[in-house]
């Protein structure tokens, strides 16, 4: 069990309104913006969720390491390239 303080992992506190999405097209646009370099609370949540996935899968040694790896993937364009590959595959699975 974890109780996380986002500030302990280098994030600023956000309000629920800062994290609101919308319908599927709006959420896709938000994700594209994040993968294209947009900063802010929504990107922080993406990085934190990715960090948790990296940690529980054993790729990161702890959440702080996972955050660093997630931020690096976002900043380098690796996350965007992976998404584009998945989209390409889903549009042409053969």
Burial 28-42 (b: 16+ CB within 10 A, else e): eebbeebbeeeeebb
C-alpha–C-alpha distance, residues 58 and 54, integer Å: 6
pTM of the model: 0.88
Task: Give me the helices (H) in the chain, please.
Answer: 24-35, 41-56, 63-76, 78-91
Q: Do 51 and 70 meet the contact criterion of CB atoms below 8 Å apart?
A: yes
Residue 49 confidence (pLDDT): 96
Residues constituting the chain: 94
User: What is the mean pLDDT for each group of 10 consecutive residues in the chain (94 residues)?
Assistant: 88 96 96 95 97 97 97 96 90 80
Residue 4 confidence (pLDDT): 87
Q: Which helix (H) or strand (E) holds 20?
A: none
Residue 91 confidence (pLDDT): 87
Residue 93 confidence (pLDDT): 76
Residue 42 confidence (pLDDT): 98
């Amino acid at each position: 069990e974890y109780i996380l303080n986002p500030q302990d992992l280098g994030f600023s506190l956000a309000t629920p309104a800062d994290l609101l999405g919308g319908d599927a097209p709006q959420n896709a646009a938000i994700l594209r913006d994040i993968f294209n370099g947009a900063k802010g609370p929504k990107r922080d949540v993406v990085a934190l969720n990715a960090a948790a996935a990296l940690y529980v899968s054993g790729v990161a040694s702890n959440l702080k390491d996972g955050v660093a790896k997630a931020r690096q993937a976002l900043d380098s364009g690796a996350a965007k390239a992976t998404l584009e590959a998945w989209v390409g595959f889903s549009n042409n699975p053969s």
